Structure 1
């Protein structure tokens, strides 16, 4: 076991930590056969070991819509992380034996169980560059079509997330939707399903830099997530569809998840900070 006591450099012009002004997030966990997961993880992150939840591995998809404020304005970003729940092999002796339900409820206080990213699809070139340079993320352009719960929309809690392959626009300030083709999508109708608030952050995100060194970057969320266990009778409320099986992410989704049902969902939506109310008539002078 080797240890590097220095911190990874922070590439200019970025500053850390990166502060989110608002975050809307839905994640889906799948418990699957461990063999293909271990093989894929070894190819992407050889210093990590897949978590063992009663003989099953866990792969996870999470969609994020977030806002960030900068000195010269603001920006909105969408991305999906497709990951394997894993831990550093060299730290295995620090981990307690946990069930998936205990992990999902935030019982791993070492925070060594994190997300080893396989694919990160994103519609913001600046976020792609930052994620790649700072955290060793395998991050590339995508565009999204989204329907999600909102206080500015109808009731219910239905998510529809469609991810499309894309290229950067010629100006480099976004994803070119004209070049988009569908990769995969998922639907999650979580309306009226039981949920429990969980303290599961910081979430440790794992990457590997160009020199092959593993990186870990924790992300704090300052309010509880909502965890929804998906029992057998409710698992059909979630559906994953691969539209392009020949794409790298589509092939990995089919290999690792296939037709496995979702074992759990988790959501976070930033609370509103202001409301512009309904107008009223002002009396006129007669």
Structure 2
């Protein structure tokens, strides 16, 4: 097993997690090329002859002995598996994969770019998991019990020179299925070229919304919109090459349940 770089301790425990993922089924040829460049020991999974590219936004809180920290990040990944383990894979449709039917957990996310707003998380992800992780800023609007009703997510990712890409997803009224799709295996490659796998457990089910069946292409475009603002950036170029104008196949979300509530005040009788 790889050494755990000091001063970190594993596992890393999340105090709260708010998460949305977008899956795109795309032409596998450019996906294989990108994967060979980033992670040569991995192969792209195929579902009905299509590869799966996924965008995974996370907002999470972690508590430490001397306080707490809040982190935002996006993992831009290809669903892949170790080439040497190909004989262990089951044949799954995309919907089966999205519902967590892969019990081997070899189908994981091969990270191409991880953008993050927390320097400590960037260092830890790079040293511990071989993530290609670098700084970014985020502007978001997320569903919240402390906000208006609805289920609308908007995420804008920005670099030093402005917006890189953004997406919006209006899931209001969209049927959802509870899925047990964790642990999610995250793949990286260390500086020596050795592939790494790090599982992430989420202790409650995800909510999965399919966009491949009853929803036609027009509704999918209306529900979810992905925009590349800087096609010359590293991630913008790959989003354009791999995803392009493809419609999303599915959306999955997770939001930690509240643990306390400070209620509305009331007047008390005044003395005298």
Please state how far the C-alpha of 1:208 moved relative to its aligned partner.
0.2
Which of residues 208, 215, 225 is equivalent to 2:196? 215
Q: Distance in 2 between matches of 1:261 and 1:26?
A: 16
Structure 2: runs of 5 or more not aligned: none
Pairing 1:176-215 to 2, within 5 Å after superposition: 180-215=161-196
- The whole-number CA distance in structure 2 between the counterparts of 1:46 and 1:101 is 27
Q: Aligned equivalents of 1:159 and 1:241: distance in 2? A: 14
By how many angstroms is 1:285 displaced?
1.6
Among residues 8, 12, 19, which one is paired with 1:18 in the alignment?
12
CA offset digits 1:29-54 (Å, max 9, x no partner)? 00000000000000000000000101
Q: Does 1:249 align with 2:230?
A: no
- The corresponding residue for 1:82 is 76
SS state at 2:155 partner: strand
Secondary structure, counterpart of 2:104 in structure 1? coil
The CA deviation at 1:151 is 0.1
Distance 1:252 1:42 in 2: 13
SS of alignment partner, residue 35 of structure 1: helix
Quote how far apart the aligned CAs of 1:194 are.
Answer: 0.6
2:220 aligned partner: 235
CA distance in 1, matches of 2:137, 2:146: 23
Answer yes or no: is 1:70 the counterpart of 2:82: no
Give me the TM-score of the superposition, normalised by structure 2: 0.97
Name the structure 1 match of 2:246: 260
Task: Identify the residue that residue 140 of structure 1 maps to in structure 2.
Answer: 134
- Matched residue of 1:91: which SS? helix
What are the superposed Cα offsets for residues 175-213 of structure 1, whole Å, 9 maximum, x if unpaired?
xxxxx5100000000001011000000000000000000
Runs of 4+ in 1 over 6 A off after TM superposition: none
- TM-score, normalization: structure 1? 0.93
State whether structure 2 residue 209 is matched by structure 1 residue 225.
no
- Rounded to whole Å, the distance in 2 between the matches of 1:162 and 1:225 is 23
Deviations 1:119-168 (A, max 9, x none): 000000000000000000000000000000000000000000000003xx
Aligned-partner SS, 1:234 = helix
| Number of positions where the alignment pairs a residue of Structure 1 with one of Structure 2 | 267
What's the counterpart of residue 145 of structure 2?
Answer: 151
2:230 match: secondary structure? coil
